[in-house]
């Protein structure tokens, strides 16, 4: 069956077609469900597909729009959340045998906001177990990279990245504690935003680390991500850490251009272990932005080499605390890597944990200093996706040869809470031909400037228009 | 909680055939003190995981922190 081109249209085009009734939400949902049916057995992006529910919501959206009750730019647009987001009455597995049959009695704030905006949920997306498991196991088996099924989509929002790349859904929600939105965005050639800490409510999202968790949007374009953030951002009485910082009009930022924009480029640490091909793509992207009028500023982030250990200590300590009861009662059901990490976390001392939080203070102050000299800072987004069997499986099956060292691309933004976006910046020569990504981060609550620079770069390139052969 | 590294047995010249890194008996003691009921098999599995973490942990511990630096938790409102 030929792939309907509508499933790969950018969200702003879909929204316009739906609003002007050139496209029915029912037709769009059916096209996505057909793509899911055709590809999910190979890609394993979805754990649960809620087809009938989605069609019912699509018919409702169609009626509302026909009656001129248009809710906004996401009305009638399909989306899917990572299966870490509680969805009332619809099973939420966390990718784990422990919660395989959990049906929540409450809705996460972010899916509720998406639903109230008229977006249509197609199902629940695959992930690494509890956002921390191995790339090889999980409740239904790993999601696979649509660009090459022998490769990982990266995680932990693995299904979110894979579903977008495969054209199964135009919008997704993920969560990012140490790169879990940005890494799959890079590996799947899509756009992922880790918002500022507190920009999007964590209510109803299963915790990995209270300090480092950031739920956020993913899409195939920067505008798509911006449109989701517009809907999900804002305070939430059910999450005291959700900020009251004003939510700007993100759409207005998209077309500001980059004339005079200062892009910080780190001179140390972050380019360690970046492969030459990746670095070439990154430098070429920066050169493009300079041609558009941006200026680059060399920056050095003091104590950047402490990011990895700081993040690990905070994350593992808090994850172990959160899962303490689960570890005691259901250890045998856990993914071996999850169990290993939680047991190892028990050996962390409170004094060391507090030390990590103090180093966090210093890194946050350092980033405030950095952003006095630049508007955004560019970072690598890791190397291209690894082979699926190259993902971490835990010491019960140690990899041979040992895994290559990875760049420390993601932890800084989680530790300091600053927003960070990843978008495509090229492809490897292959084979296989795999996406490469570039990352930008900005001051707290300055997602608008991230959208400004990312959209400018995206508009000057066509990486985002390419699709995997598998997707048709 | 007990600092596992401080319990490592074997300071001084290593004995041929002795364990490297963190000793199993140190882990066993730390496990018991932390209220964990981990078997020797589990501890053997965790040993390399904990050893892998030691360099990073030691870097954090060696980092000089001024008294004025407090831990930061929670929101970032500007």
pLDDT of residue A406: 78
A347 and B34: CB-CB below 8 Å? yes
The number of residues in chain A equals 472
* Contact pairs from chain A to chain B, CB under 8 Å: 101
Helix, strand, or coil (residue A407): coil
* CB A98 within 8 Å of CB A334: yes
Do A200 and A165 contact (CB within 8 A), yes or no?
no
Residues of chain B in contact with residue A313, where contact means CB-CB under 8 angstroms, are 56-57, 60
- The model's pLDDT over B32-48, given as tens digits with 9 standing for 90+, comes to 888 888 888 999 999 98
Q: How far is CA A99 from CA A14, A47, A139, A334, B54, in A?
A: 35, 13, 10, 10, 33
Longest pairwise C-alpha distance within chain B: 58
Buried b (16+ CB within 10 A) or exposed e, A248-259: eebeebbeeebe
- B67 in contact with A, Cβ within 8 Å: no
B71 Cβ under 8 Å from any chain A Cβ: yes
Q: What is the pLDDT of residues A238-260, one digit of tens each?
A: 999 999 999 999 999 999 999 99
ipTM: 0.86
pLDDT of residue B5: 39
Is A82 noted as a catalytic residue in this protein? yes
Residues A162-187: pLDDT tens digits? 999 999 999 999 999 999 999 999 99
Task: Evaluate whether A443 touches A421 at the Cβ level (below 8 Å).
Answer: no
Chain-centre distance for alpha carbon A221: 13
pTM, two decimals, is: 0.94
Does B65 lie at the interface with A, CB-CB under 8 angstroms? yes
- The tens digit of pLDDT for each residue in A333-372 reads 998 889 999 999 999 999 999 999 999 999 999 999 999 9
Mean pLDDT of B67-75: 85
Low-confidence stretches of chain A (pLDDT < 70) are 1-2, 135-137, 390-403
Q: Angle A276-291/A447-459 helices, nearest 10 degrees? A: 90
């Amino acid at each position: 069956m030929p792939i309907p081109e509508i499933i790969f249209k950018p969200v702003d085009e879909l929204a316009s077609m739906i609003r002007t009734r050139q496209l029915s939400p029912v037709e769009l949902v059916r096209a996505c469900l057909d793509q899911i049916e055709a590809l999910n057995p190979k890609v394993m992006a979805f754990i649960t597909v809620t087809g009938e529910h989605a069609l019912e919501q699509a018919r409702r959206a169609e009626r509302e729009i026909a009656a001129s009750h248009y809710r906004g730019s996401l009305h009638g647009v399909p989306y899917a959340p990572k299966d870490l987001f509680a969805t009332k009455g619809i099973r939420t597995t966390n990718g784990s045998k422990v919660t395989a049959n959990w049906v929540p009695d409450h809705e996460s704030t972010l899916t509720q906001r998406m639903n109230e905006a008229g977006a249509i949920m197609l199902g629940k997306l695959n992930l690494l177990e509890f956002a921390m498991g191995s790339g090889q196991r999980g409740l239904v088996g790993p999601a696979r990279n649509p660009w090459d099924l022998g490769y990982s989509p990266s995680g932990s929002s693995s299904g979110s990245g894979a579903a977008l790349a495969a054209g199964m859904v135009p919008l997704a929600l993920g969560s990012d504690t140490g790169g879990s939105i940005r890494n799959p965005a890079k590996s799947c050639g899509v756009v992922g935003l880790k918002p500022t800490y507190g920009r999007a409510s964590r209510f109803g999202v299963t915790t990995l680390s209270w300090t480092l968790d950031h739920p956020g949007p993913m899409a195939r374009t920067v505008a798509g991500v911006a449109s989701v953030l517009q809907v999900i951002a804002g305070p939430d009485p059910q999450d005291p850490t959700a900020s009251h910082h004003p939510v700007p009009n993100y759409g207005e930022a998209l077309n500001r251009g980059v004339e005079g924009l200062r892009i910080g480029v780190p001179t140390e640490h972050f380019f360690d272990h970046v492969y030459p091909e990746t670095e070439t793509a990154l430098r070429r992207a920066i050169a493009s932005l300079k041609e558009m009028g941006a200026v680059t500023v060399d920056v050095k982030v003091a104590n950047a080499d402490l990011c990895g250990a700081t993040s690990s200590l905070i994350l593992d300590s808090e994850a172990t605390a959160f899962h303490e009861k689960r570890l005691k009662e259901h250890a045998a059901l856990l993914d071996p890597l999850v169990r290993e990490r939680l047991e190892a976390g028990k050996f962390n001392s409170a004094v060391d944990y507090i030390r990590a939080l103090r180093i966090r203070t210093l890194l946050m102050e350092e980033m405030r200093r950095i952003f006095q000299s630049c508007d955004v800072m560019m970072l690598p987004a890791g190397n291209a996706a690894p082979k699926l069997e190259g993902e971490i499986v835990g010491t019960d099956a140690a990899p041979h040869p040992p895994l290559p060292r990875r760049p420390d691309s993601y932890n800084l933004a989680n530790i300091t809470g600053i927003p960070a976006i990843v978008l495509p910046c090229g492809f490897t020569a292959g084979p296989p031909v795999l996406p490469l990504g570039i990352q930008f981060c900005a001051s707290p609550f300055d997602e608008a400037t991230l959208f400004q620079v990312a959209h400018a770069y995206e508009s000057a390139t066509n990486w985002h228009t390419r699709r995997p052969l598998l997707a048709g | 909680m007990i600092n596992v590294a401080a319990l490592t047995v074997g300071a001084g010249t290593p004995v041929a055939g002795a364990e490297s890194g963190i000793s199993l008996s140190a882990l066993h003691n730390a496990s018991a003190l932390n209220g964990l009921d981990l078997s020797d098999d589990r501890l053997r599995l965790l040993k390399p995981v904990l050893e892998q973490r030691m360099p990073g942990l030691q870097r954090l511990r060696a980092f000089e922190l001024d008294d004025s630096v407090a831990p930061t938790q929670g929101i970032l409102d500007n």
